[in-house]
Structure 1
């Protein structure tokens, strides 16, 4: 499956480029400046502030469409823009256009030093989630993963105070994100050995559950790393050039979690830690993980990390005892979306 998603140059194991583009892109370049990554800084939609989400294949398209619907059902006044790479097929583009979801073609980013993500192939794609920092046509971009579901309006993210462009990435509030959970509840053997509950920022909030609904733990608390699923960004050439410089550094070979490892390293302690409610990892809800702070009625945005995704569930999976109840939230919104689409004459496989 991975081979079908990666460019020809990666399949042949030739040297990686700082800026890597898929095999069908004509203007291939290794120049990672913002002007090269975003050579046509025209808005995909008439809005100075947007949500964006990366899409590289149709496996996540149902997630993207339901994310878009959930933002609209929550009453967001900002549009979602799909950032697609050349590996995204024409049937996917047609599905977006059919639903009038704005889209922008972007390059496929990879660091200059090869990092083997055989255990987690999804992280090859994740480098491209750094692209929003280069989208200078917008004043504010909030990057969302396509396996998210908005449960409550969170437009306030478009206005939280962050460093201005003039600060050139030298300030203390370069971007905003929620912490990564370091608990490794599935005990994945390839995860870092220090990824244990006592080192997790959310564990530090267990005795203050109400505070955890409105504040994130400090971004420099212990072993800290932002989760790349939601990033609140002020697009900036100087900030993006710092990112490009990091992509060119051999140090990326030690980044176990691609984009979020890079952001946590380059901007250590200089990002705004959001409360978990904006990027509520579904595993946090599990008993013994972070159920001490999780409140169903306070969560604004659920992140269906790991596999299987809700849309991959079979009828048998749905009927299984012990099924993750959070998955039903996604299905409820998805069913509503599809019913409305059918009334409009849209009835494809997504």
Structure 2
């Protein structure tokens, strides 16, 4: 095993895997809903849960229900200068979030742990999905997509199509790629404003654009309701405010929060996602 590579608790079963990252107990809760949704979609691919020292065994144990591979992953071996530049207070001060609320536990350096996926050469392809997301329809077809594939960061306007969102992406693990990433990531004076998203967009300038419905961000619900189509959504991503937390937008996002809770518990799962009410109908009810 390559030095620093994620250490999994058992051998792989498939040559393809979905992967997510858990850095604390809250994201472990999110991973439970995500893993259930992947299995509910009918996928038999491996599910790898990368986890850091910020989450304990008790929070991870419920994930065994879904046959996951738990893989301990450490922070990247970045320099003190890099770590200082990307500390929470500094990065949020230079690039404040004005559109929504990031959770208090958000730690920018954790985001770069995603890059360790490129060390997992036991897989031909890995589809990464953030733990604050749900798979609403089978997306195994993404294992046929090239590296690097990702959906655009659309949640406010069509102008967002020029930026990728790293909540869902397709990777081809290779140690050479990982080494090149580390060299580029921690170059002198490097500062990645949107952490892993900024870095991945620069590292893969010719990134392949996935359909927006492969990573539909929850703000589309109230910012661009005409774009919302339950029949087309493959992955629903709860960016900014999290469905497991109390927050100011809970009333506006109520139907999406209810759906997440159904996947968390396995109770009251909708028989037909396409039949769910859209934003306009929900607004009339509220």
Same fold, TM exceeding 0.5?
yes
Which of 19, 35, 41 is 1:68 aligned to? 35
- 2 CA distance for matches of 1:70 and 1:95? 14
1:310: which partner in 2? 243
* Secondary structure of the corresponding residue to residue 65 of structure 1: helix
Counterpart of 1:327 in structure 2 is 257
Could you tell me which residue of structure 2 aligns to residue 124 of structure 1?
109
CA–CA separation in structure 1 for the residues paired with 2:78 and 2:184: 8
* Root-mean-square deviation (Å): 2.8
Matches of 1:96 and 1:333, distance apart in 2: 13
Deviation at 1:313, TM superposition (A): 4.2
Residue 139 of structure 1 deviates from its aligned partner by 0.8
2:216 corresponds to: 280
Counterparts of 1:229 and 1:329, CA distance in 2: 19
Deviation at 1:280, TM superposition (A): 0.6
1:183-227 CA-to-partner distances (Å, cap 9, x unmatched) read 4xxxxxxxxxxxxx46421xxxxxxxxxxxxxxxxxxxxxx3321
Determine the structure 1 residue equivalent to 2:196: 259
1:248 is matched with: 186
Q: Work out the CA distance in 2 between the residues paired with 1:302 and 1:86.
A: 27
Structure 1 residue 100, shift from structure 2 partner: 4.0
- The reply on whether 1:200 has 2:164 as its aligned counterpart is no
User: Residues 338 and 64 of structure 1: is their aligned pair in 2 closer, same or farther, counting only changes over 3 Å?
Assistant: farther
Q: Larger C-alpha radius of gyration, 1 or 2?
A: 1
1:104-183 superposed matches below 5 A? 104-109=71-76, 111-112=78-79, 113=82, 114-118=85-89, 119=92, 121-160=106-145, 162=146, 174-181=147-154, 183=156
Name stretches of at least 5 consecutive residues in structure 1 with no aligned partner.
1-33, 163-173, 184-196, 202-223, 340-350
Gap change, CA 1:290 and 1:226, over 3 Å in 2: same
Change (3 A) 1:91 1:198: closer
Q: Does residue 103 in structure 1 map to residue 103 in structure 2?
A: no
* Offset, 1:110: 6.2
- TM-score by length of structure 1 reads 0.65
Superposition pairs for residues 73-92 of structure 1, below 5 Å? 73-92=40-59
3-state SS, counterpart of residue 82 of structure 1: strand
CA contact 2:35–2:47 (8 Å) conserved in 1: yes
Q: 1:295: which partner in 2?
A: 229
| Structure 1: distance between partners of 2:6 and 2:136 | 35
CA distance in 2, matches of 1:57, 1:304: 17
Deviation at 1:41, TM superposition (A): 8.3
Alignment check: 8 A CA contact 1:280 1:301 kept? yes
Structure 1 residues 110, 177: CA separation in 2 closer, same or farther (over 3 Å shift)? Answer: farther
Long gaps (5+) in structure 2 = 93-101, 270-286
Counterparts of 1:110 and 1:284 in 2: how far apart (Å)? 36
Report the secondary structure of 1:312's partner residue: coil
Larger fraction in strand? 2
TM value normalised by structure 2: 0.78
Q: Give the count of matched residue pairs.
A: 251
Q: 1:83-120: CA deviations, max 9, x gaps?
A: 11122212123333465432111111264322243236
1:245 Cα deviation after fit: 0.8
Shift of 1:70: 0.7
Task: Name the structure 1 match of 2:275.
Answer: none
